[in-house]
């Protein structure tokens, strides 16, 4: 017997590495000191730019959104979703990304599929000015169903210590500004798939007139990165706190940045809930409170700032091409979210 008899194809692994090596190298920035294939990735921090550099790291995946990729045979978007999600997770603390690592695991390695997945990762890294420093591709026969894989991402960013955004200065009366999402992003897919595929009986190619897209296109809409929109504001110290609205929705994520003694009031009528969420709510018979806990409901990032700075922040966001919305305000309370309708 040999390794291939057990289900691990070393030749396919070598071919995969050959294909993705150029994708990764195209993302390299000035700080990269190592090449793809090293045991560890080397990155040099620009000490002339930072007096007291603080590294900010995060790890995440894209959840069961991958199931939609498997159903449609489209694998070139989930990698970018992964990068953008991780970028936003460190951005809310004021950090800009330095480098990214990816992990792809599958039962039977397909160089074609893996190349498409990593191409999406590389595209996300280029768009966020982040080096794809390395990663791992694992072939694990018997562990995953045929044709399926999982991906995870690991990001490291940097921020000057004096510019860390941690929400400590948030106070009652502060303005809460939301930035629109591009769909479900990477959360709530287990419930969405149950509603659309199991309960409604839709197929990925079913066209949804109220959404203006097929089910597959609507569910694979990319997770938006907010780096370019927020970056012009990072040096101005106008932002007191930011919340990335991921799993748990506004209900669970906004309290994570609130100091003790504060709460948030969100006006559900401040923005138009996108049709996809309305469709899920109706087809699934989902209670409104549960919708706001399971999905982002059209808001992917929330910024807290002083009322006196809100117009400056709004103007800067509009100048970056964003469509910011005042969604509520900070109140006195016990780190909770209250909704008005």
Strands (E), 62-180: 96-106, 131-139, 149-160, 175-180
pLDDT band at 10 (very low <50, low <70, confident <90, very high): confident
The model's pLDDT over 156-169, given as tens digits with 9 standing for 90+, comes to 999 999 999 999 99
Question: What is the pLDDT, as a whole number, of residue 84?
Answer: 98
Is the Cβ–Cβ distance between 248 and 335 less than 8 Å? no
Give dist(CA 338, CA 158) in Å, integer. 33
The separation between CA 339 and the C-alpha centre of its own chain, rounded to angstroms, equals 25
List domains and CATH numbers for the chain.
Answer: 3-163 (3.30.1330.10), 175-340 (3.90.650.10)
Is the Cβ–Cβ distance between 67 and 192 less than 8 Å? no
User: Range with the lowest mean pLDDT among 98-102, 133-137, 327-331?
Assistant: 133-137
User: Range with the lowest mean pLDDT among 2-16, 166-180, 193-207?
Assistant: 2-16
Give dist(CA 23, CA 131) in Å, integer. 11
> pTM (2 decimals)?
0.94
pLDDT at 1 over 70: no
Q: What is the DSSP string of 52-82?
A: SEEEEEEEEE-TTHHHHHHHHT--SSHHHHH
Q: What is the mean pLDDT of the chain?
A: 95
Q: Compute the CA torsion angle 65, 68, 72, 74 (nearest 10 deg).
A: 10
């Amino acid at each position: 017997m040999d390794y291939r008899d057990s289900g691990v194809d070393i030749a396919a692994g070598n071919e995969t590495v050959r294909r993705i090596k150029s994708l990764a190298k195209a993302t390299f920035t000035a700080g990269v000191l190592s090449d793809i294939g090293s045991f560890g990735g080397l990155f040099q921090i620009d000490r002339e730019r930072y007096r007291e550099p603080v590294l900010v790291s995060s790890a995440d995946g894209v959840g069961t959104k991958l199931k939609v990729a498997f159903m449609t045979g489209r694998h070139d978007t989930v990698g970018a979703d992964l990068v953008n999600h991780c970028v936003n997770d460190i951005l809310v603390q004021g950090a800009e990304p330095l480098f990214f690592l990816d992990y792809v695991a599958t039962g039977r390695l397909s160089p074609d599929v893996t190349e498409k997945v990593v191409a999406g990762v590389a595209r996300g890294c280029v768009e966020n000015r982040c080096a794809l420093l390395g990663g791992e591709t694992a072939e694990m026969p018997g562990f995953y169903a045929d044709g399926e894989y999982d991906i995870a991402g690991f990001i490291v960013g940097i921020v000057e210590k004096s510019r860390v955004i941690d929400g400590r200065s948030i106070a009652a009366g502060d303005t809460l500004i939301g930035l629109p999402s591009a769909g479900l992003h990477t959360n709530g897919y287990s419930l969405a798939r149950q509603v659309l595929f199991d309960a409604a009986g839709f197929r990925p190619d079913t066209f949804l007139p109220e959404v203006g897209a097929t089910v597959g296109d609507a569910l694979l809409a990319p997770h938006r990165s907010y780096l370019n929109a927020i970056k012009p504001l990072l040096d101005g110290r106008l932002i007191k706190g930011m919340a990335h609205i991921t799993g748990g929705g506004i209900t669970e994520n906004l309290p994570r940045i609130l100091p003790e003694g504060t709460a948030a009031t969100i006006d559900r009528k401040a923005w138009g809930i996108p049709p996809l969420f309305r469709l899920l709510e109706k087809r699934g018979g989902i209670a409104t409170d549960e919708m706001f806990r399971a999905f982002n409901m059209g808001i992917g990032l929330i910024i807290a700032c002083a009322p006196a700075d809100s117009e400056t922040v709004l103007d800067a966001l509009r100048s970056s091409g964003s469509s910011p919305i005042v969604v509520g305000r900070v109140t006195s309370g016990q780190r909770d979210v209250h909704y008005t309708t």
